[in-house]
Amino acid sequence: MPPRLHTLSQALRAVFGRRAKKIPLDAGSSCPNRDGTLSLGGCLFCNAAGSGTGLHLKGFGLLAQWAALTGPARRRGEALLGYLQSFSNTYGPPERLAALLAEMATLPDIAGLCLGTRPDCLDDAKISLLAAAPLGHVRLEMGLQSANDATLARINRGHTAATFARASRDAAAAGLFVTAHVMAGLPGETVADFLATVDFLATLPIAGVKFHNTLVVAGSGLAGLYAAGGYVPMAREDYVAAVCQAITRLPAHVAIERQNADPAPGELVAPAWAADKQGILREIAARLEREDIWQGMGMEREREEEDKECLRRPGGIIPPGPP
Ligand code: SF4
């Protein structure tokens, strides 16, 4: 039986011919949704740490972080990928990005780059810089969160779904690998909205997806809404069921890079079940098995239906009417 989903490890092994390790690095980047350009408050679910390690603020440059963090993976003979995770790493003038990429290229034995950013921080000039960087395999991690513009406004994302579609198409056309971040359980959304976001992704040239359950983290706008009784987190079993459905709707080649969110130590306010990352992963795997479903299955069924429909059309070989 082939695997029920295509993981990032499998995708990277196909690229490098061995295991690969993402090394999280903090380049001291900022975000237009936090510095006042778009807003000061940030996305409703984000706190001021911006998912980062904070090492840059503590005075550690990229080379020092790289030297401190690559030892074990190096000893195991793994391909080393620099992972610029925190905030929006393509934000600012192109010259800043050019300097950042040049510095990344000097890190010893770097075999590739994963870079987190926002779709509205990615114009043609920056895409060209990324595509030309001497960094081997380059993956862009871009937040979409929802394909519903009303939700994006509600959570204060500061961009639309069309902005994401444009950026992902342009980046893919330049040879970059795009990973989309999406969330289930956003305020005001149902499971149907989440699955509509997944269907939207399936129409785009993306190479990977990270699924997140919406977390209430300390210091976020969502924490205030939750405390006031204005937000109820998704139930654990509903999240597991929703992700399994989402997996069936994604094309088989898309790498599923994350199946649930990973709260930073001490930051999780709710739901408590989100702290059990491994347990949720086991439940997702068990449900895929129990229901005998797999990645891309929904699209296979859709194609089969289209083929049958084609045969039923005038001139087809199946007579119209009930099956
Ligand atoms: S989630 Fe990302 S884009 Fe939103 S405020 Fe935080 S760092 Fe900025």
Residue 117 Cβ < 6 Å to ligand 1: no
Q: What is the atom index within ligand 1 of the atom nearest the CA of 32?
A: 8
Tens of pLDDT along the chain (323 residues) come to 568 999 999 999 999 999 999 999 999 999 999 999 999 999 999 987 655 667 777 788 999 999 999 999 999 999 999 999 989 999 999 999 999 999 999 999 999 999 999 999 999 999 999 999 999 999 999 999 999 999 999 999 999 999 999 999 999 999 999 999 999 999 999 999 999 999 999 999 999 999 999 999 999 999 999 999 999 999 999 999 999 999 999 999 999 999 999 898 899 999 999 999 999 999 999 999 999 999 999 877 777 777 777 777 666 665 555 44
Residue 87 Cβ < 6 Å to ligand 1: yes
Q: Which domains does the chain have, with CATH numbers?
A: 8-312 (3.20.20)
> Residue 319's pLDDT is what?
52
**Distance, CA of 170 to CA of 176 (rounded, Å):** 9
> Residue 166's pLDDT is what?
98
Q: Which residue has the tokens 């991690």?
A: 141
**Alpha helices of the chain — where are they, by DSSP H?**
8-16, 62-69, 71-75, 94-105, 124-132, 149-154, 161-173, 191-201, 221-227, 236-249, 277-291, 297-312
**Distance, CA of 258 to CA of 132 (rounded, Å):** 28
Residue 114 Cβ < 6 Å to ligand 1: no
What is the Å distance from ligand 1's center to 306 Cα? 40
Residue 250 Cβ < 6 Å to ligand 1: no
> Residue 317's pLDDT is what?
60
Is 115 in contact with 141 (CB distance < 8 Å)? Answer: yes
Residue 86 Cβ < 6 Å to ligand 1: no
> Residue 286's pLDDT is what?
98
> Residue 306's pLDDT is what?
76
Distances, alpha carbon 43 to alpha carbons 18, 161, 305, in Å: 37, 15, 40
Residue 50 Cβ < 6 Å to ligand 1: yes
